[in-house]
Structure 1
């Protein structure tokens, strides 16, 4: 994530970048055509996954109508540009081996370019809740010039509004700036974001990966995440993806797993030892010399194992 030594002012939507994205800036420069090969992707991008079917649909549309909305780029030198917004169009143009593409060229700073990319990411129709959560956290971290973990800690203060120290922090310039960002985005308050979105970051890694790759939707992923056993969770996730299970089918699978778990007795190491001791005592192996000799050999190995554990 880009960093800056200059503190940012209280948050305002970057109208220069947003207006360029949606064509509302009368003073924006007109689009012009440049070589596709002169455009390069930024070193770090907020968007990590593109649904193949969505990209194919865009490719078909461009074949029929051309690129209707120009890409946004910023100049690197006289002949090279860095993509700021429009990565799907850029990738579709590459697939179609287009020689030129329409662009709007603006001299954005690193922070401005990163922010516009994040904001464009938040406008995606196919954005799932986890991706949206991550994008908002990145935007907050960029604007407040702190890490995502520090943003989360700041937002979590809303869980303790009556503490005096929290009261002071929540009236600080940093907190007011955070609130203004949420107001500008118009989707959450800090508290609703904490309650409804931050828990998504604690989803198991395989669930988050399936979500970000578009393999499963959020409601199904959330249901599967309830399974505590990692192996059972992984198996159900794979089954849900490969067989395209509905949410009701997934819930039926979870109910079945819960019933199996309830009917299976929990055997702890302590119970195993206790049961073995009782069975050994009841068997009275010492009455049979041969069996007792075998038992003593095994008991000696156990003693050696215990001594080895104590010495370590």
Structure 2
């Protein structure tokens, strides 16, 4: 059974894009274009391409040709810029193709970059770092804010949601308490009083309904639409599990971008504070393909208190005590040669104590 991956999934309908990435709707509109008339964009959402995967695509195109056209847009100088299909473009260059199938669309800079982001997020096997950075860029475009503003915004939305949930629980608790008190009251028999009570209840229900329908945060609505459209994860999961990833040291992030290290291993190795030690450890972990448990064990060993002068002194005392205890119980006292060695060591120890 073929495993479903992001690359096999079409774009979700909630993400508005002027391009069918499956190629089904645009197959008839494709046309051939000289490869030397096509250029790559100055800003590219994806910075790392797996050499092995690119090699496989190059071989596939060599045998079968380019089955899905590239999406390009007109730019200055009579050239056309790649919007979607950079890997196919690179593979075509490797095969020294003269022409490639393309679909041309008139797109401004914002629409082109947004479309390239979505194409990468949904159709390419991005590593966690690129995926996280891509989602932040997409949110930046949708919200009209800088990328740096997005993480604090998501944390603020999380805080607001927690406060709203807490407030809602308090209101429910008060309503239940009020209901219990009402059950204990005597039934009012006077019709006029009944009428007043009825009117008051209606008024309260209307007020409660108005209070319950709190205005929806427009930023939250956009954020939810983006994540619903991508279908990769919830925005809360992204904020909790992906944003901390970008706080890792740059050498660790580079390894993640290259796909040579899993995220769980990266987080463990990032605990090593010294750069030179961390880089050396990272290289060994990748070269030897250490498991997560091996990495944690080796890091724990590196954290042993050998380098601390105070603990080092205590360690010597413990070793001396253990050695003398073993000596008392040992049979070496009956061996003349070993007993002479002990006498020499004892004389050296006595000399050391006299110096003090």
Tell whether the structures are fold-level matches, with TM greater than 0.5.
yes
Structure 2 CA distance for aligned equivalents of residues 113 and 141 of structure 1: 14
Structure 2 CA distance for aligned equivalents of residues 88 and 82 of structure 1: 14
Per-residue deviation, residues 234-293 of structure 1 (Å, max 9, x unmatched): 2211112333333343233223213x2x343267xxxxxxxxxxxxxxxxxxxxxxxxxx
Moved more, 44-53 or 150-159: 150-159
Residue 234 of structure 1 pairs with residue 234 of structure 2: no
Match of 2:251 in 1: 206
Structure 1 CA distance for aligned equivalents of residues 159 and 215 of structure 2: 10
Match of 1:275 in 2: none
Q: CA deviation at 1:170?
A: 8.5
Q: CA deviation at 1:24?
A: 4.4
Aligned ranges 1:77-88 → 2 under 5 Å: 79-88=78-87
Q: Structure 1 residues 225 and 133 mapped into 2: Cα distance closer, same or farther (>3 Å)?
A: same
TM-score (norm: length of structure 1): 0.73
Match of 2:48 in 1: 49
Aligned ranges 1:101-250 → 2 under 5 Å: 101-161=100-160, 162=162, 171-250=216-295
Bigger radius of gyration among the two: 2
Match of 2:18 in 1: 16
Match of 1:292 in 2: none
Q: CA deviation at 1:129?
A: 1.4
Match of 2:89 in 1: 90
Per-residue deviation, residues 107-152 of structure 1 (Å, max 9, x unmatched): 1121111011101111245312121111100000011111112111
User: Which runs of at least 4 in structure 1 moved beyond 6 Å after TM superposition?
Assistant: none
Q: Structure 1 residues 38 and 141 mapped into 2: Cα distance closer, same or farther (>3 Å)?
A: same
**Do the aligned partners of 2:128 and 2:257 also contact (CA within 8 Å) in 1?**
no
Q: CA deviation at 1:77?
A: 5.4
Match of 1:264 in 2: 307
Provide the alpha-carbon RMSD of the alignment.
2.7
TM-score (norm: length of structure 2): 0.64
Q: CA deviation at 1:199?
A: 0.3
Query: Aligned with 2:18: secondary structure?
Result: helix
Ranges in structure 1 where 5+ consecutive residues have no aligned partner: 1-10, 268-312
Give the number of the structure whose residues are more often helix, by fraction.
2
Query: Aligned with 2:272: secondary structure?
Result: coil
Match of 2:29 in 1: 30
Count of matched residue positions in the alignment of Structure 1 and Structure 2 = 251
Q: CA deviation at 1:35?
A: 0.2
Match of 1:40 in 2: 39
Query: Aligned with 2:156: secondary structure?
Result: helix
Q: CA deviation at 1:78?
A: 8.2
Ranges in structure 2 where 5+ consecutive residues have no aligned partner: 1-12, 168-213, 311-356
**Do the aligned partners of 1:29 and 1:104 also contact (CA within 8 Å) in 2?**
no
Q: CA deviation at 1:229?
A: 3.4
